[in-house]
Amino acid sequence: MKPLEIIRKKRAEAINRIIAKGYLSSKRVYVGMATCEIAAGSKEVMEVFQDAVKSGLSDVYLSQKGCAGRCNLEPTVEVVEEGRIPLKYGLVTKEKAKEIIERHLKKGEVIKEWLIK
Amino acid sequence: MPKRFNITLCDGPSCMHKNSKEIVAAIEAQLKKHELSDHVGINLSGCLGMCARGPVMIINPGYSIYGDFTEKDIPEIIEQHIKKNKPIARFIIDEDHLYNRFFRVFGDVNFFGKQMRIALRNCGIIDPENIDDYISLRGYEALAKVLTDIAPEKVIGQIKKSGLRGRGGAGFPTGIKWELTAREKSDEKFVICNADEGDPGAFMDRSAIEGDPHTIVEGMAIAGYAIGAQKGIVYIRAEYPLAVKRIKKAIADARKEGFLGQNILGTGFSFDIEVRLGAGAFVCGEETALMLSIEGHRGMPRPRPPFPSVSGLFGRPTLINNVETLANIPVIILDGAQWFSSLGTEKSKGTKVFALAGKIKNTGLVEVPMGTTLRQIIYNIGGGIPGDKQFKAVQTGGPSGGCLSEEYLDTKIDYESLAAAGSIMGSGGMIVIDEDSCMVNIAKFFLEFTQNESCGKCTPCREGTKRMLEILTRITEGKGSQEDIDKLLRLGNMIKKASLCGLGQSAPNPVLSTIKNFRAEYEEHVRDKRCRAGVCRHLLVYEITDKCVGCSACKKACPAEAISGALKQKHLIDVNKCVKCGACFKICKFGAIKKS
Ligand SMILES: Cc1cc2nc3c(=O)[nH]c(=O)nc-3n(C[C@H](O)[C@H](O)[C@H](O)COP(=O)(O)O)c2cc1C
Ligand code: SF4
Ligand code: FES
């Protein structure tokens, strides 16, 4: 097999593995986990989301991500829904993370004041 | 409720000429007609990289790229795509390009929407510790492609054609560097990724590795194939533990998938990468010092030639490239050298990442096409200066760079234009300075850094920077003379000419450029003993005004016993005794102390 054929196969496999991890859930949540994000407190934010998933928050795909580059609005969290413009929250704290889970992830209510514009 | 859309219309240099203003007006009119204005965001972007098909716009969600339309087509597009959610195939550019991946998530936010991302395309949208995420976005396809049907010379030909130049500071053409290393005959060659990133305040390379480490691994493997090397080394500073962890994991995962190691993807090509930690000396980022440091010696630059391409690590031909340089490689291979070379200016192609910091509203990482102006970065992306303060200068290139004043704001970002203006591109630091900063003090700050980091090998750099720093200190303390300014110029030019490595050759730049562009401030310091920004402590004068009620709080606070006056009467500061500590200014509850 030629390398290009191998990579196509590997790509299909990789996509399948990501899907098996729940990528097709109705919401995907990305939490910034780079040095700068962590310094701003993103580890605690991530823990809030992880705990929520552990205690039954379903239909959500949770992932870490690197820094997108908006330093003074970190920690940042994105909520991505297929077919919609992704929503980007800035300056997320532990408390805000809990509210994002309760209001946005569970009830579908976007918290407009916290969005990055 | 109608679905929300975002329309990003290209306002780049090429599309602008194809009436984007009329198009915006047409879009707004149509949205109003259909009562959809509240559901659709409109933003203007920089070049979207498809100039030949301009005008170009992207409708999100879905990342539908519209090209080759006119304002007459807008009613149809709004009606079909926005109102009925039916994209119109005949306008859509059907491309799965690698660059600008981040746009799908971030494009509607002004700060991001005005950028073009090649090196940072995946940063912030994938899990950097999961190789599957990278592969799913066509990761390692560029490596597979060169291994399938592009001979090493042809890969080098493409890199040359792309016009890519080194992003580590010097801007040397990458393709030529690859060619020079490929030409050498040797049983062993090395590819080194320079991730030392020693500039104070710079964090582009750290973010790139932490956000998308596999692109560096892939870039290095392609370089290894092109020049005939089997070993790669990532030289990264130990102060970057998370980046170290992620690059190590990326290397291990790539090995497991067969992208590194023996017989890669069954082609007989073998290449592997190891990670070496740097101790954090600025000079160890210089290529010859870096290699000595890997060999276990003290990191000190040596004269070139021989260049690393001829005799590098352990005397073997070595290719050394910066993180950002390597991150561009997979994109050049898959999106095309021709395309890459269509971006930017005549001699500077592609994009450049900057770490935007200082007195600016939106601090952060900015990647823009070469040729974007400083003004566009600072005002359109950075959002300008906070708190209605006046812009004073922009510093580019870190401690090796210079400070540019307002008249240079329309300078285009490319290697030559920045150099002509008296600064440098450098590795991508960009610090915005407002009226509250003293330019003499800024120059002193950078010189303190380089003076400290000088390895001491050559006298002009070791002693010369020390003398310059002494003079600058004297000036900020109000003890400078007119001759001192000329002395700084003479010394600076001498150090630039007589130093061995780039550290010494560039160390005087912050001083020379501030004298060139802000000479009046230096003269005020030496002639009037005045610092207009009120930063140089020794030049401040504290006075007590008539607001004084004689409470005597300042008298008690003054460590130098410089304040006299009876209780309930106006006090007085003896300027000869005052040590300018500002204690009185801080303690006074009546605002009776004037600082000037
Ligand atoms: C004092 C000094 C420090 C340097 N630090 C770095 C650095 O941190 N990272 C880097 O890539 N290049 C640095 N360089 C430039 C390197 O010597 C070299 O030119 C570069 O890594 C080549 O890669 P490029 O062609 O991809 O830019 C430094 C140079 C000098 C003189
Ligand atoms: S110029 Fe300075 S840093 Fe460079 S080798 Fe000479 S003394 Fe060392
Ligand atoms: S200017 Fe519009 S795509 Fe380049």
CB contact under 8 A, B265 and A34: no
B103-117 per-position pLDDT tens digit: 999 999 999 999 999
B212 touches chain A (CB under 8 A): yes
Q: Which of A85, A110, A112 to mutate to test the interface with B (most CBs of B within 10 A)?
A: A85
B551-563 per-position pLDDT tens digit: 999 999 999 999 9
Q: Which residues of B touch A38 (CB under 8 A)?
A: 242
Spatial contact of B344 and B371, defined as CB atoms under 8 Å apart: yes
At a CB cut-off of 8 Å and minimum separation 6, what does A20 contact?
A: none
pLDDT the model gives residue B545: 92
Whole-number Å distance between alpha carbons of B322 and B328: 10
3-class secondary structure, B309: coil
* Candidates B122, B141, B207; nearest CB to A7: B141
In DSSP notation, B326-372 reads: HHHHHHHHHH-HHHHHTSB-SS-BSEEEEEEEES-SS-EEEEEETT-
The CATH number of domain B439-528 is 1.20.1440.230 = yes
Instruction: Answer yes or no: is A29 within a domain.
Output: yes
B222-241 per-position pLDDT tens digit: 999 999 999 999 999 999 99
Beta strands in B19-163 (DSSP E): 40-45, 56-60, 64-67
B329-340 per-position pLDDT tens digit: 999 999 999 999
Whole-number Å distance between alpha carbons of B239 and B382: 28
Residue B398, phi then psi, degrees to nearest 5: 60, -150
* C-alpha closest to that of B403 among B422, B417, B375, B378: B422
B453-492 per-position pLDDT tens digit: 999 999 999 999 999 999 999 999 999 999 999 999 999 9
Beta strands in A1-117 (DSSP E): 27-32, 60-65, 77-80, 87-89
pLDDT the model gives residue B595: 83
At a CB cut-off of 8 Å and minimum separation 6, what does B479 contact?
A: none
Q: Residue B181: what residue type?
A: T
Q: Tell me the CATH number for domain B540-595.
A: 3.30.70.20
Task: Supply the mean pLDDT for chain B.
Answer: 94
Instruction: Answer yes or no: is A13 within a domain.
Output: no
| Number of CB pairs, chain A paired with chain B, less than 8 A apart | 144
* pLDDT mean over B254-267: 97
Domain count, chain A: 1
Distance from CA of B379 to the nearest CA of A (A): 15
CATH 3.40.50.11540 intervals, chain B:
131-340
Instruction: Answer yes or no: is A71 within a domain.
Output: yes
3-class secondary structure, B429: strand
Instruction: Answer yes or no: is A16 within a domain.
Output: no
Q: Which of residues 122-161 of B touch A (CB under 8 A)?
A: 122-133, 135-136, 138, 140-141, 143-145, 147-149
CATH 3.10.20.600 intervals, chain B:
351-434
User: How many CA atoms, within 13 angstroms, populate the side-chain half-sphere of residue B385?
Assistant: 17
Residue B197 CB less than 6 A away from ligand 1: yes
Q: What letter does residue B428 receive in the DSSP assignment?
A: S
Residue B484 CB less than 6 A away from ligand 1: no
- Which residue owns the Cα nearest ligand 2 atom 1? B504
Spatial contact of B230 and B152, defined as CB atoms under 8 Å apart: no
Q: How far is CA B507 from the centre of its chain?
A: 18
Greatest extent of chain B over all pairs of C-alpha atoms, in Å: 92
Q: Which of residues 23-52 of A touch B (CB under 8 A)?
A: 30, 32, 34-36, 38
Q: Which residues of B touch A10 (CB under 8 A)?
A: 135, 140, 257
CA-to-CA dists, residue B566 to B162, B355, B569, angstroms: 78, 54, 5
pLDDT band with cut points at 50, 70 and 90 for residue B2: low
Whole-number Å distance between alpha carbons of B337 and B510: 36
Q: What is the CATH number of the domain that holds A71?
A: 3.40.30.10
Q: Residue B73: what residue type?
A: D
Sign of CA dihedral B547, B552, B558, B561: positive
Q: B301 C-alpha vs ligand 2 centroid, how far in Å?
A: 7
**How is domain B5-93 classified at the architecture level of CATH?**
3-Layer(aba) Sandwich (3.40)
B256 touches chain A (CB under 8 A): no
CATH 1.20.1440.230 intervals, chain B:
439-528
A47 lies in which domain range? 25-114
CATH 3.40.30.10 intervals, chain B:
5-93
Q: Residue A10: what residue type?
A: K
- Is residue B19 scored above 80 in pLDDT? no
Q: Which of B136, B149, B216 to mutate to test the interface with A (most CBs of A within 10 A)?
A: B136
3-class secondary structure, B278: strand
* C-alpha closest to that of B107 among A108, A116, A27: A116
* pLDDT mean over B294-306: 93
Cα of first residue to Cα of last residue in chain B, in angstroms, is: 60
* C-alpha closest to that of B323 among B232, B455, B229: B232
* pLDDT mean over B23-38: 94
pLDDT band with cut points at 50, 70 and 90 for residue B133: very high
Bridge partners of B40, per DSSP, are: B5
CB atoms within 10 A of CB B358: 20
CATH homologous superfamily, domain B131-340: NADH-ubiquinone oxidoreductase 51kDa subunit (3.40.50.11540)
Q: Where do runs of H (alpha helix) occur along B97-140?
A: 103-106, 110-113, 131-136
- Cis, bond preceding B305 (omega within 30 deg of 0): yes
B518 token code pair: 């802000």
Whole-number Å distance between alpha carbons of A115 and A90: 6
Query: Which ligand does the CA of B456 lie closest to?
Result: 2
Q: What letter does residue B463 receive in the DSSP assignment?
A: I
Residues within 6 Å of ligand 2 by CB: B 283, 301, 454-458, 461-462, 499-501, 503-504
Distance from CA of A103 to the nearest CA of B (A): 19
CB atoms within 10 A of CB B60: 21
User: How many CA atoms, within 13 angstroms, populate the side-chain half-sphere of residue B136?
Assistant: 17
pLDDT the model gives residue B1: 55
The CATH number of domain B351-434 is 3.20.20.480 = no
Spatial contact of B442 and B514, defined as CB atoms under 8 Å apart: yes
B514 token code pair: 């501030």
- Ligand 1 pocket test, pick from B165, B222, B287, B349 with the greatest ligand atom count within 8 Å of Cβ, gives B287
Residues within 6 Å of ligand 3 by CB: B 10, 12-15, 47-51, 54, 56
Give the position of tokens 């590819």.
B191
B377-404 per-position pLDDT tens digit: 999 999 999 998 999 999 999 899 999 9
Instruction: Answer yes or no: is A39 within a domain.
Output: yes
3-class secondary structure, B298: coil
- Is residue B270 scored above 80 in pLDDT? yes
Residue B318, phi then psi, degrees to nearest 5: -135, 135
Whole-number Å distance between alpha carbons of B65 and B51: 12
Distance from CA of A10 to the nearest CA of B (A): 8
